[in-house]
């Protein structure tokens, strides 16, 4: 499984923790899209990179992290083909996959500690899309990109 990941300065420490956790699984390959330090930076530059890797099929899933998670989620959702969900608890991580077939998650470092972030990521990556009635709804969401 290939995962893209990005953060701004506010999410840098949490990103590093999540990368370390992901790399414990030999079946996961991680592409770090930056930022690579704690200096103030513009999150859209990094969030777009991670989302685009998913959109273009180079990565299976993406993870974006900033202070609240909101800016990165908004950024990722501007990339065609991306369905990014802000997840600050396990229930959100599960249901964004079950019902929305999310392919990117955003995490707010201000609200989520390292342990919870790793649990959120694990839940997101191991939950399968339910399909069924949810296919129709996801198709309706994705059709908005053509308008």
Euclidean distance between CA atoms 52 and 132, whole angstroms: 27
Of the candidates 9, 21, 99, 134, the residue annotated as catalytic is 99
Neighbours of 123 (CB within 10 A): 20
Integer Cα distance of 133 and 15 in angstroms: 34
Q: Is the peptide bond prior to 55 cis by the omega test (within 30 degrees of 0)?
A: no
31 neighbors 56 (Cβ within 8 angstroms) = no
Q: Is 108 in contact with 82 (CB distance < 8 Å)?
A: no
63 strand-pairing partners? 5, 105
Q: Is 9 a catalytic residue?
A: no
Catalytic residues: 99
């Amino acid at each position: 499984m290939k995962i893209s990941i990005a953060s701004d300065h506010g999410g840098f420490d949490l990103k590093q923790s999540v990368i370390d956790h992901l790399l414990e699984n030999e079946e996961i390959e991680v592409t770090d899209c930056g930022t690579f330090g704690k200096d103030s930076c513009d999150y859209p530059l990094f969030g777009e990179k991670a989302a685009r890797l998913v959109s273009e099929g180079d990565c299976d899933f993406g993870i974006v992290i900033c202070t609240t998670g909101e800016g990165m989620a908004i950024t990722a959702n501007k990339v065609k083909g991306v369905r990014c969900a802000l997840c600050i608890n396990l229930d959100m991580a599960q249901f964004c996959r079950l019902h929305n077939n999310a392919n990117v998650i955003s995490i707010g470092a201000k609200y989520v500690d390292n342990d919870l972030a790793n649990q959120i990521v694990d839940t997101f990556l191991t939950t399968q899309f339910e399909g069924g009635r949810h296919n129709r709804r996801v198709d309706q969401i994705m059709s908005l990109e053509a308008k």
